[in-house]
Amino acid sequence: MTVYLDMNYAGRGLGSKLYAELFAKLKELGIHVAIGGISLPNKSSVALHEKFGMEKVAHFKEVGYKFDQWIDVGFWQRML
Protein backbone atom coordinates (compact mmCIF):
# COMPACT_ATOMS: atom_id res chain seq x y z
CA MET A 1 0.00 0.00 0.00
CA THR A 2 1.21 3.50 -0.79
CA VAL A 3 -0.17 6.67 0.73
CA TYR A 4 0.52 10.17 -0.50
CA LEU A 5 -1.08 13.16 1.18
CA ASP A 6 -1.77 16.35 -0.73
CA MET A 7 0.83 18.96 0.25
CA ASN A 8 -2.04 21.29 1.26
CA TYR A 9 -2.83 18.88 4.10
CA ALA A 10 0.72 18.45 5.42
CA GLY A 11 1.30 19.04 9.11
CA ARG A 12 -2.26 18.32 10.20
CA GLY A 13 -1.58 14.93 11.77
CA LEU A 14 -3.36 12.96 9.04
CA GLY A 15 -0.40 10.64 8.47
CA SER A 16 -0.32 9.85 12.18
CA LYS A 17 -4.05 9.14 12.22
CA LEU A 18 -3.73 6.83 9.22
CA TYR A 19 -0.77 4.96 10.73
CA ALA A 20 -2.46 4.57 14.12
CA GLU A 21 -5.46 2.95 12.39
CA LEU A 22 -3.26 0.85 10.11
CA PHE A 23 -1.15 -0.59 12.94
CA ALA A 24 -4.24 -1.32 15.04
CA LYS A 25 -5.84 -3.18 12.12
CA LEU A 26 -2.65 -5.12 11.33
CA LYS A 27 -2.40 -6.26 14.95
CA GLU A 28 -6.07 -7.23 14.92
CA LEU A 29 -5.42 -9.35 11.82
CA GLY A 30 -2.49 -11.10 13.48
CA ILE A 31 0.17 -9.59 11.23
CA HIS A 32 3.61 -10.09 12.80
CA VAL A 33 5.74 -7.39 11.11
CA ALA A 34 5.00 -4.10 9.35
CA ILE A 35 7.50 -2.91 6.73
CA GLY A 36 7.55 0.51 5.11
CA GLY A 37 9.59 1.73 2.16
CA ILE A 38 10.53 5.39 1.93
CA SER A 39 12.00 7.28 -1.01
CA LEU A 40 14.99 9.18 0.31
CA PRO A 41 15.72 11.82 1.37
CA ASN A 42 12.38 12.43 3.10
CA LYS A 43 12.75 13.77 6.65
CA SER A 44 9.03 14.01 7.37
CA SER A 45 8.29 10.43 6.28
CA VAL A 46 11.26 9.09 8.25
CA ALA A 47 10.03 11.01 11.31
CA LEU A 48 6.51 9.61 10.91
CA HIS A 49 7.73 6.02 10.66
CA GLU A 50 10.06 6.39 13.64
CA LYS A 51 7.30 8.07 15.67
CA PHE A 52 5.45 4.75 15.38
CA GLY A 53 8.39 2.70 16.59
CA MET A 54 9.69 1.65 13.20
CA GLU A 55 13.45 1.30 12.77
CA LYS A 56 15.56 1.54 9.65
CA VAL A 57 16.70 -1.88 8.48
CA ALA A 58 17.90 -1.27 4.90
CA HIS A 59 19.11 1.44 2.53
CA PHE A 60 19.38 0.82 -1.21
CA LYS A 61 21.13 3.41 -3.37
CA GLU A 62 19.52 4.63 -6.60
CA VAL A 63 17.03 1.77 -6.93
CA GLY A 64 13.95 3.97 -7.39
CA TYR A 65 13.10 6.40 -10.16
CA LYS A 66 10.93 9.37 -9.29
CA PHE A 67 10.58 12.88 -10.73
CA ASP A 68 13.02 12.04 -13.55
CA GLN A 69 15.86 11.03 -11.26
CA TRP A 70 17.27 7.97 -9.51
CA ILE A 71 16.57 7.94 -5.78
CA ASP A 72 17.59 5.92 -2.76
CA VAL A 73 14.97 3.81 -0.99
CA GLY A 74 15.08 2.90 2.69
CA PHE A 75 13.06 0.31 4.54
CA TRP A 76 11.77 0.59 8.11
CA GLN A 77 10.13 -2.19 10.12
CA ARG A 78 8.28 -2.75 13.35
CA MET A 79 7.35 -5.97 15.07
CA LEU A 80 3.68 -5.92 15.96
Encode the chain (80 residues) as per-residue pLDDT tens digits. 677 788 898 889 998 999 999 999 999 999 999 999 999 999 999 999 999 999 999 999 999 999 999 999 999 999 99
**CATH number of the domain to which 32 belongs:** 3.40.630.30
* 2 occurs within a structural domain: no
Give strand pairing partners of 40.
72
* 15 occurs within a structural domain: yes
pTM, 2 dp: 0.87
Q: How many domains is the chain built from?
A: 1
* 73 occurs within a structural domain: yes
* 16 occurs within a structural domain: yes
